[in-house]
Amino acid sequence: MTHNHNPLPEHELLTHKSFLKSLNTVDCLFALLTAAGAFFAQTRIQHAMDIYEMVILWASAGITVFLGWFFKPMRWFVPLCAVLAYGAVMLYDGEITHSDSFLLKYFLSSQSAIMWQCAFVFFALFAYITGAVLAQRKNVATNTLLGMGSVFAWVSAVAGFTGLLVRWHESYLLRPDAGHIPVSNLYEVFILFLVITALMYLYYEARFAVQKLGGFVFSFMAIVVGFVLWYSFSREAHTIQPLIPALQSWWMKIHVPANFIGYGAFCIAAMLGIAELWALRNENAGKKSSLPPSQVIEEVMYKAIAVGFLFFTIATILGALWAADAWGRYWSWDPKETWAFIVWLNYAVWLHLRLVAGWRGKILAWWAVIGLFVTAFAFIGVNMFLSGLHSYGTL
C-alpha cells in the first residue's frame, strides 16, 4: 500500500494574511508622520479650533492613515501635497501680497495649482485615449502613453488637492475672521470633485488593471474642467468670499466631502456604464475591442456604485443631523432633500437588482448612465430651477 504524503492545499482564506499583519515598516512610518502632522497642526492653530474641529482633525488623520494602508500610493500623495501646501504657506509669510512671488504666482498659489490641475486633466485624457488606440492596434495590454496617462492623472490630483489646501490658508490671509475650508461654493466643490474622482479612478485602475478605461472617466472630468474654467472666468468664481451664515458650521467639513465621494463614484460608474455598453456591442458583433471584457467593466462599476452609495448614505445622515442643528428638524422634504432621497433610492434599487435579483449586463449599464443625470439634477438642477432651504448654492 502506498501512502500519499503530499499535504493538502490550504484554502485561500486560511492562507490570507490579516490586514494588520500585512502592514510593513513604511506603513508604520506613514502613520507616525500623519500623527505628527496632525499634532503640529493642532499646536499651531489650536486657538482657532473648538472641540468639534479637533475631533475632525484627528478623525481625518485616522482616515488618512487607513487610506495610506489600504491604497499604498496615498502614502506619498498626502505628504507631498502637505509639503507643497506648507511651502506655499511659508512663501506667503502671513501676507497675501506675497502672491506675486515667482513660485506662488506660477505654481503654488491656489489658483495657479488649480489651473495646473485643469491642464493635466486634459493631458491625461489625451494620453489615455491615444494610448488605448495604439494598444488596440498593437494588441498589447498597456504602453508608454497609457502609463503617462496615469502619471498625468496623479499630477492633476496632487495639484488640485494642494490648491485646495493653499486656498484654505489664503481665506484666512484675506479675512482672518472669516477663513473657511474651501468647500463652500460650486467652484470649490468641483475642484474637490475632480480630486476625488481622479483618486478613485486611479485606485480602480491599479486594482483591476483597466488603464484603457481612463479615456472614459477623464472625458467627463474634462467636461467638468470646462465648466470650472467658464465659471471662473465669466463669474469670477475663484474669488474667495466669506461664508454665508447658513454654511458657518463645522458640519460642512464632514458633510460635503462625504457627499462628493459619493458623487465622484457615481460619475465614474456612469462613464464605466458607457464603456460596458461599447464593450458589449463589440462582443456581440464579434469585433476586436481595445476595452477590457464587459464583465470586468461591470465589476468595477459595481464596486464604484457600492462605495458611492455608502458615502452618499453617510452624507445624507450627516446632512439630516446638520439640518436638526440649524433648523430644528431632521428632514423637511425640501427640494434638495427630496432629490437626495431620489438619488439614494436610485442606487439602492440598482444594488438590489444586482445583488439580490441577479441582474447583469446592458440594463444595469444604462441604469448607471441615467443615474448620472439624476445625480446631476440633484446637485445642480435643483439649485437652478427649484427654490428651498438650500437655494444658496445657485450659479
Which helix or strand (DSSP H or E) is residue 207 part of?
helix 186-208
Q: How far does CA 70 lie from the centroid of its chain?
A: 16
Query: What does the alpha-carbon distance between residue 110 and residue 96 come to, in Å, rounded to a whole number?
Result: 12
Q: Is 170 within 8 Å of 109 (Cβ atoms)? A: yes
Give the model's pLDDT for residue 5: 54
**Count of CB atoms within 10 A of residue 2's CB?**
4
Query: What does the alpha-carbon distance between residue 109 and residue 97 come to, in Å, rounded to a whole number?
Result: 11
Cβ neighbourhood burial of 364 (10 Å; 0-12, 13-18, 19+): buried
Rg (CA), the chain: 23
Give the model's pLDDT for residue 389: 59
Give the model's pLDDT for residue 328: 85
The answer to whether the Cα torsion of 125, 189, 109, 238 is positive or negative is positive
Residue stretches of the chain with pLDDT short of 50: 1, 11-13
The answer to whether the Cα torsion of 106, 108, 112, 115 is positive or negative is positive
Give the model's pLDDT for residue 241: 85
Backbone angles phi and psi of 147, in degrees to 5: -65, -40
Read off the pTM: 0.92
Geometric angle at alpha carbon 202, from 201 and 208, rounded to 5°: 85
Give the model's pLDDT for residue 384: 77
Give the model's pLDDT for residue 139: 86
Cβ neighbourhood burial of 79 (10 Å; 0-12, 13-18, 19+): middle
Tens of pLDDT, residue by residue over 303-323, are: 999 999 999 999 999 999 998
Cβ neighbourhood burial of 1 (10 Å; 0-12, 13-18, 19+): exposed
Provide the 3-class DSSP secondary structure of residue 72. Answer: coil
Q: Is 296 within 8 Å of 307 (Cβ atoms)? A: no
Give the model's pLDDT for residue 13: 46
For residue 286, what is the DSSP state?
T
Give the model's pLDDT for residue 243: 84
Q: What's the Cα-to-Cα distance from 290 to each of 69, 134, 146, 222, 296, rounded to whole Å? A: 32, 9, 12, 21, 13
Query: What does the alpha-carbon distance between residue 142 and residue 151 come to, in Å, rounded to a whole number?
Result: 14
DSSP secondary structure letters along 122-157: HHHHHHHHHHHHHHHHHT-S--HHHHHHHHHHHHHH
Q: What's the Cα-to-Cα distance from 293 to each of 272, 273, 288, 351, rounded to whole Å? A: 12, 13, 11, 21
The set of residues, in sequence order, having a beta carbon less than 8 Å from that of 239 and lying 6+ positions away, is none
Query: What does the alpha-carbon distance between residue 40 and residue 228 come to, in Å, rounded to a whole number?
Result: 33
Query: What does the alpha-carbon distance between residue 290 and residue 211 come to, in Å, rounded to a whole number?
Result: 11
Backbone angles phi and psi of 334, in degrees to 5: -60, 150
The set of residues, in sequence order, having a beta carbon less than 8 Å from that of 196 and lying 6+ positions away, is 257, 260, 261, 263, 264
Give the model's pLDDT for residue 46: 79
Query: What does the alpha-carbon distance between residue 107 and residue 103 come to, in Å, rounded to a whole number?
Result: 5
